[in-house]
């Protein structure tokens, strides 16, 4: 495991190189993190480019990601690492132009961009230049051949909670999913991977994401005689729609007291405790303690709590900084896909040769009048190399 090294001394603090736009925030305050030995500094800085929407409709989230990247730069970058920020304007054309500028300024690795369409526009530029890219998207179609997607992939999230349910003697799974890209991605992933975890998919139904009545799909989950042939039901949805679907289950003969309801990270911000049917349900989440510590450091530096996505900006920049300090200018696939992985704000993660990311998730249980309870902690390290 490549853990983050200690923050640099006052004499060794990195600086953000001159960027096309003025920095949107003041320099961060130095927090304290754990110690670790480092090799000698290389003679010339490694250079990373940060591609974010610093103007346009998505400037707010772009600014938060930039803040998080600055925090990572301050904490782990050291004197061996230079970060060049570029504005993508939140568009594919802007992202491609930013990538061309970054390559022209000899960037050795690209951090970002944020959106799937931006990543697809940037990929041909970086691949032609032989520069790896750490994109924040969850779009796996762009992954591979030097492009790594760091977003929280829905399929592995679903498999994590489903496998935990299997360990708790709930091997018969039903899936009730919206017929949108997210829902179909979860279904495809579980169909291909759940049987290998000892899980049988007893029933599967989709529902129209624009519907308000879910009676039909829920009834179709039951057998010809109305019997419940499963002991766990995954609902890969969010917000009010998630709560509406869950509330409809008992009226159609599916008792959440008998069938364990499961979810993905979408549950985290969906106020599941406000719907009685979801209380006691399990869902996947990154480790709570590490992310809470990041929230505190970010708030101390910038005066506000960061949005959820800001952690990706921190971890991607920190990964590039750690690699720069340990491997000088070597951002080759063999280094980036170290099977030991990295320890970040959202737990352990490692980049796979196919360009996807593997993460270590915890399983949380919804509580009625308290914060969710961790029922299965995230792993501290990866058990096997791929």
The per-residue pLDDT for 331 is: 95
Q: How far apart are CA 16 and CA 27, in angstroms?
A: 10
Give the pLDDT confidence score for residue 50 in this predicted structure: 98
Tokens at 349, concatenated: 């993660």
Q: Is-cis flag, bond preceding 356, omega within 30?
A: no
Successive 10-residue mean pLDDT values, the chain, 386 residues = 42 35 33 30 74 97 97 84 95 98 97 97 98 96 97 97 98 98 97 96 97 94 88 97 95 93 96 96 94 95 95 96 87 94 94 96 95 95 72
pLDDT for 7: 37
Instruction: Give the residue carrying structure tokens 């992954």.
Output: 143
pLDDT for residue 385: 56
d(CA 135, CA 379): 24
The pLDDT score that the predictor gives to residue 25 is 32
What pLDDT was estimated at residue 250? 86
Stated pTM of the model? 0.86
Task: Kindly provide the b/e burial profile for residues 284-309, where b requires at least 16 CB atoms within 10 angstroms of the residue's own CB.
Answer: bbbbbebbeebbebbeebbeeebebe
For CATH 3.40.50.2300, list the domain ranges present in the chain: 10-152+288-355, 154-285+363-376
Q: How many of the other CB atoms lie within 10 Å of CB of 32?
A: 9
pLDDT of res. 272: 96
Confidence (pLDDT) at 378: 95
Residue-level pLDDT at 97: 98
Residue where the block lists tokens 């679903």: 158
CB 204 within 8 A of CB 174: yes
The CATH superfamily of 154-285+363-376 is: Response regulator (3.40.50.2300)
Rounded CA gap, 219 and 209, in Å?
A: 17
The sign of the dihedral angle between the CA atoms of 381, 384, 385, 386 is negative
* 10-152+288-355 is classed CATH 3.40.50.300: no
Q: 339: phi > 0 → left, psi -120 to 50 → alpha, else beta; which?
A: alpha
């Amino acid at each position: 495991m490549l853990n983050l090294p200690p923050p640099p001394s006052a004499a060794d603090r990195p600086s953000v190189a001159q960027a096309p736009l003025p920095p949107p925030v003041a320099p961060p305050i130095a927090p304290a993190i754990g110690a670790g030995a480092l090799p000698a500094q290389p003679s010339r800085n490694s250079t990373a480019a940060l591609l974010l929407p610093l103007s346009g409709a998505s400037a707010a989230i772009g600014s938060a990601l930039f803040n998080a990247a600055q925090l990572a730069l301050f904490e782990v970058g050291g004197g061996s690492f230079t970060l060049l920020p570029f504005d993508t304007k939140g568009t594919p054309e802007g992202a491609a132009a930013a990538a061309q500028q970054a390559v022209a300024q000899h960037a050795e690795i690209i951090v970002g961009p944020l959106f799937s369409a931006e990543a697809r526009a940037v990929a041909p530029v970086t691949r032609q230049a032989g520069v790896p890219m750490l994109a924040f998207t969850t779009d796996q179609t762009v992954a591979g051949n030097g492009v790594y997607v760091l977003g929280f992939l829905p399929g592995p999230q679903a498999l994590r909670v489903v496998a935990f349910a299997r360990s708790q003697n709930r091997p018969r799974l039903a899936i009730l999913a919206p017929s949108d890209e997210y829902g179909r991605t979860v279904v495809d992933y579980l169909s291909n991977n759940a049987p290998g975890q000892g899980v049988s998919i007893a029933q599967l139904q989709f529902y129209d994401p624009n519907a308000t009545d879910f009676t039909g799909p829920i009834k179709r989950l039951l057998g010809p005689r109305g019997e419940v042939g499963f002991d766990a039901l995954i609902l890969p949805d969010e917000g009010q729609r998630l709560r509406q679907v869950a509330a409809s289950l008992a009226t159609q003969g599916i008792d959440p007291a008998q069938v364990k309801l499961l979810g993905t990270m979408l549950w985290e911000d969906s106020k599941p405790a406000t719907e009685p049917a979801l209380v006691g349900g399990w869902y996947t989440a990154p480790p709570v303690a590490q992310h809470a510590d990041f929230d505190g450091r970010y708030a101390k530096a910038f005066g506000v709590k960061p949005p959820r996505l800001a952690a990706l900006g921190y971890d991607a920049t920190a990964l590039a900084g750690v690699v720069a300090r340990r491997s000088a200018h070597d951002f080759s696939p063999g280094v980036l896909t170290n099977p030991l992985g990295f320890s970040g704000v959202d737990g352990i993660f490692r980049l796979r040769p196919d360009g996807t990311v593997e993460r270590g998730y915890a399983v949380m249980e919804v509580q009625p009048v308290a914060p969710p309870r961790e029922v299965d902690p995230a792993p501290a390290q990866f058990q096997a190399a791929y």
